[in-house]
Amino acid sequence: MSHLPLTLISDDEQMLYDTVYEYAKKAIQPLSHQMDENQKMEPSLIKDFFENGYMGIEIPEEFGGLGGSFFSAILVIEALSRVDASCGVLVDVHNTLVNNAMKNWGSPELQEKYFPQLAEGKLGAYCLSEPASGSDAFALRTTAKDMGDHFLLNGSKLWITNGLEAELFIVFANIDPSMGYKGITAFVVENGFEGFRKGKKEDKLGIRASSTLELSFEDCKVPRANVLGEVGKGYKVAIETLNEGRIGIGSQMVGIGRGALDACIAYTKERVQFGKPISTFQAVQHEIAHMEAEWEAARLLVYNAARLKDMGKPFVKEAAIAKLKASMMAERVTSGALELFGGYGYSKEYPVEKFYRDAKIGKIYEGTSFMQLNTIAKIVIG
């Protein structure tokens, strides 16, 4: 059974969360508005994330990582997202998708080569989606032609998070489209590989400092040694990695919800109407209480899924539920917080409009809410 009691956060884990959050308030918060306006991540922050160890949480110590738990990565993502969701998702994709795929599927030679890079300075990206392949992920059209000691990749990828700054890419391509999903293979592609090109950067509603790019491959030469896992088994790499990634998105949404609630609660204590702070009005109190309850429930779902993953227990259903409910919570809480700010909530002078915009993506990427419902139903009903 995967229904286990939730384990509370240990003192060390709480210290980790608090340390990351304090760093985020000091280093990220002053830059957040400008990064959103400019649609660009501050390079010094990425350098900080590597130096602080945030980018190699689960990477073994012998390769320069922290050798920590998946749950620790979830806490870091949440703490960063509480201040800026773009920073949260940058760290999230690098850890829960790229590092985990390398940890679970990389050969000893690939791990020895790329883990030190992923831990110490080279940002990773995960390349599955295509113009005609979204929720139907295995309808991808990027191909990989076997040339003996190398493969030639041809095609394009869309909606690639971290695409602009990333130097290492996990790319999914099909060695034989007639085989369907059984031809899909995962490859590690370096930024400098011949035939690999970065395309246009998307102009997005939210998480605007997080780069989202289109990528193209024109006879991109990838060494056979850079196959991640087995040839024709890339669909397993994709499915299992995304199951973990959903928990990461859930933690991002929990961070966004907490950030919006923090701002909202503080504002209602300062805003005076009819001669007293609006926080004294029962209607306002009840609204905040509802939002707090929804946030707490979502946080526990995310933590539970992460604990199950670390324990080696089944967690696919729990991960889908965590992402589904956390994204619903974030949308609801940020909307409610914006409304309690009144007209000021609609202004960029205050942070809640950004939390509101950043929250919307939670229902869309790394599996839409509809796909999470499909996953849950399949497991529950059979």
Same domain, 273 and 370: yes
Give the integer Cα–Cα distance in Å for 231 and 302. 33
Same domain, 305 and 177: no
**What pLDDT is stored for residue 7 in this prediction?**
59
State the DSSP H helix or E strand holding residue 228, giving kind and residue range, or none if neither: strand 227-228
pLDDT tens, residue by residue, 264-317:
999 999 999 999 999 999 999 999 999 999 999 999 999 999 999 999 999 999
Give the CATH number, domain containing residue 270: 1.20.140.10
With beta carbons less than 8 A apart as the criterion, state whether 33 and 348 touch.
yes
With beta carbons less than 8 A apart as the criterion, state whether 80 and 20 touch.
yes
* Residue that terminates a domain, selected from 60, 91, 122: 122
- Please indicate, yes or no, if residue 1 is contained in any of the structural domains: no
Give the integer Cα–Cα distance in Å for 198 and 326. 32
**What pLDDT is stored for residue 373 in this prediction?**
98
Measure CA 43 to chain center. Answer: 19
Residue 209: count of CB within 10 angstroms of its CB: 26
Same domain, 248 and 374: yes
Q: What are the backbone dihedrals phi and psi of residue 42, each rounded to the nearest 5 degrees, phi first?
A: -70, 120
**What pLDDT is stored for residue 2 in this prediction?**
40
**What pLDDT is stored for residue 137 in this prediction?**
82
* Residue that terminates a domain, selected from 122, 149, 165: 122
pLDDT tens, residue by residue, 122-149:
999 999 999 988 888 888 999 999 999 9
Same domain, 61 and 107: yes
Beta bridge partners of 341: none
Give the CATH number, domain containing residue 229: 2.40.110.10
Same domain, 201 and 288: no
- Token readout for 169 is 């890419």
Same domain, 190 and 296: no
Give the integer Cα–Cα distance in Å for 64 and 120. 7
- Please indicate, yes or no, if residue 5 is contained in any of the structural domains: no
Query: Which range marks the domain in which residue 229 is found?
Result: 125-234
pLDDT > 90 fraction of the chain, expressed in percent and rounded = 95
3-class secondary-structure state, position 84: coil
Same domain, 276 and 154: no
Q: Domain tally for the chain?
A: 3
The DSSP result for 128-183, as a single string, is: --BTTBSSSGGG---EEEE-SSEEEEEEEEEEEETTTT-SEEEEEEES-GGGGGGG
Measure CA 94 to chain center. Answer: 8
- Please indicate, yes or no, if residue 132 is contained in any of the structural domains: yes
Same domain, 50 and 148: no
With beta carbons less than 8 A apart as the criterion, state whether 110 and 188 touch.
yes
Q: Which residues are catalytic?
A: 366
* Residue that terminates a domain, selected from 202, 234, 266: 234
With beta carbons less than 8 A apart as the criterion, state whether 303 and 321 touch.
no
Residue with tokens 């997202």: 81
- Please indicate, yes or no, if residue 3 is contained in any of the structural domains: no
With beta carbons less than 8 A apart as the criterion, state whether 86 and 210 touch.
yes
Give the integer Cα–Cα distance in Å for 328 and 303. 16
Give the CATH number, domain containing residue 62: 1.10.540.10
- Listed in sequence order, the residues at least 6 apart from 341 whose beta carbon sits closer than 8 Å to its beta carbon are 264, 267, 350, 352
pLDDT tens, residue by residue, 61-82:
999 999 999 999 999 999 999 9
